Amino acid sequence: MQLLEPGMAFTVEPGIYLMGRNGVRIEDNVVITIKGADVLSDLPREMQVLS
């Protein structure tokens, strides 16, 4: 295990995939600051249905 320190950056990429149907993954870029974590991604989180 490694402790996160200010200046470190990483991605968080949870996803769900339904075999033979579709899937979705949310990707967030995060950087550690002296005050905590700062999420750099600013895309909306509302569900969108594409047809």
Q: Where are the domains of the chain?
A: 9-39
> Helix/strand/coil (H, E, C) string of 1-51?
CCCCCCCCEEEECCEEEECCCEEEECCEEEEEECCEEEECCCCCCCCCCCC
Instruction: Tell me how many degrees the CA angle 37-40-15 measures, rounded to the nearest 5.
Output: 90
CA distance 33 to 4: 9
Residue 48 has a pLDDT of 79
Q: The tokens of 6 are what?
A: 């200010």
- What is residue 51's predicted lDDT score, i.e. its pLDDT? 78
pTM of the model: 0.68
Position 15 scores a pLDDT of: 92
Per-residue pLDDT tens for 15-25? 999 999 989 88
What is the rounded distance in angstroms from the CA atom of residue 9 to the CA atom of residue 43? 18
pLDDT per residue as tens digits for the range 6-43: 999 999 999 999 999 989 888 999 999 999 999 999 88
